[in-house]
C-alpha cells in the first residue's frame, strides 16, 4: 500500500511539474511563441524538446509575391501596397520622369532627322525616299561617283559585282562645308536617339529596384546570406539628395 501511495505521489508531482513548466514558459515568452513541450521519440516522459508549431518562413510569401507583381506592373505600386507611400511616390515619380524624357528625346530625334533630310534635299540634290544606310553614306562622300569608285575597288578586290549608285539615288553636295553641316545635323539626331534609348534602360532599372525593394520591405526583413554565423544585409538611404548604400554584417547573441 505504501508503494502504491508513493507511486501516485510521484505521478502527481510529475504532472504538476509539467504543467508548471508550460505555464512558466507562456508567462515568460508570451503566447506568440507558440511552443509546446513534446515527449521524446523514445517515450522518455515529459522531457523532450521544444518545437515551433508554425514556422514564419513562408508567412509573408503571398504578400511578397503580390508586392513584387504590382511593382512589375508599375514601379511604386508594391510600395503603396506595403503602406510605404513615400517610397511609392518616389518610384512612381521617377517612372513618370523617365517616360517624359523618353518622349522628349524621341520627338527631338524625329525632328532632327527630318531637318537633316530636308537639308540634303536642298544642298545635295537628293530626291526620293531612302533607307537609313543611304542617309549615313551621303554624309561621308561629296558626291555619288566618289562613293561608286570605292565600291568598284572593293568589287575588284573580292571578285564580286558592285551595286553602283545611279538614277534618283545619286547626290552631289555643293561643297564640303554643306556636307559637314549635314554631318552636324546627323550627329544631333544620333545623340537624341541615344538619349531616348537610355531612358528605356533606366525604366528597366527602376522596375528592378522597385520590385526588389517591395519584396524586401513586405513583412519581416530577411538577411541576404549568412556567413560564419553573421547575417549579411544590404543597407541604403532613402534620401534623394544624399543617397548611400553599403553592406552590413550582424550577429545575434
Q: What percent of the chain has pLDDT over 70?
A: 64
Q: Is 104 exposed, middle or buried (0-12, 13-18, 19+ CB in 10 A)?
A: middle
Q: DSSP states of 21-35 as a string?
A: HHHHHHHHH-GGG-E
Contacts (Cβ under 8 Å, ≥6 apart) of 84: 217
10 pLDDT above the threshold of 70: no
Global pTM reads 0.59
Q: What is the pLDDT of residues 196-224, one digit of tens each?
A: 999 999 999 999 999 999 999 886 555 55
Q: What is the pLDDT of residues 19-41, one digit of tens each?
A: 454 454 454 445 444 443 344 44
Quote the pLDDT of residue 128.
Answer: 86
Nearest to 92 by CA among 213, 196, 192, 193: 213
Quote the pLDDT of residue 218.
Answer: 85
Q: What is the pLDDT of residues 39-73, one digit of tens each?
A: 444 444 444 444 444 444 445 788 889 999 999 99
Contacts (Cβ under 8 Å, ≥6 apart) of 217: 67, 79, 82, 84, 87
Running DSSP on this structure, what letter comes out for residue 55?
-
Domain ranges of the chain: 2-55, 75-219, 220-253
Nine cell digits for residue 189: 539626331
CB contact at 8 A, 231 and 249: yes
Nearest to 117 by CA among 196, 188, 186: 186
Residue 236, beta-bridge partner list: 245
What CA–CA distance (Å, rounded) separates 243 from 241?
A: 6
What CA–CA distance (Å, rounded) separates 170 from 144?
A: 5
Amino acid at each position: 500500500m505504501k508503494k502504491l501511495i508513493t507511486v501516485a505521489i510521484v505521478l502527481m508531482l510529475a504532472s504538476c511539474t509539467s504543467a508548471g513548466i508550460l505555464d512558466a514558459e507562456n508567462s515568460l515568452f508570451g503566447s506568440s511563441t507558440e511552443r509546446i513541450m513534446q515527449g521524446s521519440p523514445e517515450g522518455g516522459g515529459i522531457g523532450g524538446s521544444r518545437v515551433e508549431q508554425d514556422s514564419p518562413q513562408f508567412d509573408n510569401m503571398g504578400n511578397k509575391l503580390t508586392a513584387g507583381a504590382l511593382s512589375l506592373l508599375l514601379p511604386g505600386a508594391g510600395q503603396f501596397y506595403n503602406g510605404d507611400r513615400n517610397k511609392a511616390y518616389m518610384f512612381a515619380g521617377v517612372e513618370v520622369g523617365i517616360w517624359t524624357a523618353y518622349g522628349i528625346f524621341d520627338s527631338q530625334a524625329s525632328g532632327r532627322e527630318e531637318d537633316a533630310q530636308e537639308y540634303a534635299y536642298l544642298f545635295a540634290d537628293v530626291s526620293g525616299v531612302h533607307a537609313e544606310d543611304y542617309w549615313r553614306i551621303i554624309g561621308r562622300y561629296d558626291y555619288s561617283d566618289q562613293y561608286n569608285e570605292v565600291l568598284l575597288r572593293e568589287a575588284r578586290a573580292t571578285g564580286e559585282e558592285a551595286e553602283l549608285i545611279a538614277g534618283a539615288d545619286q547626290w552631289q553636295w555643293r561643297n564640303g562645308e554643306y556636307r559637314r553641316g549635314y554631318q552636324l545635323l546627323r550627329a544631333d539626331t544620333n545623340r537624341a536617339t541615344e538619349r531616348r534609348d537610355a531612358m528605356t534602360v533606366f525604366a528597366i532599372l527602376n522596375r528592378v529596384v522597385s520590385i526588389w525593394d517591395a519584396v524586401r520591405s513586405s513583412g519581416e526583413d530577411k538577411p541576404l546570406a549568412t556567413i560564419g554565423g553573421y547575417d549579411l544585409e544590404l543597407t541604403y538611404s532613402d534620401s534623394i539628395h544624399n543617397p548611400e548604400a553599403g553592406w552590413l554584417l550582424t550577429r545575434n547573441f
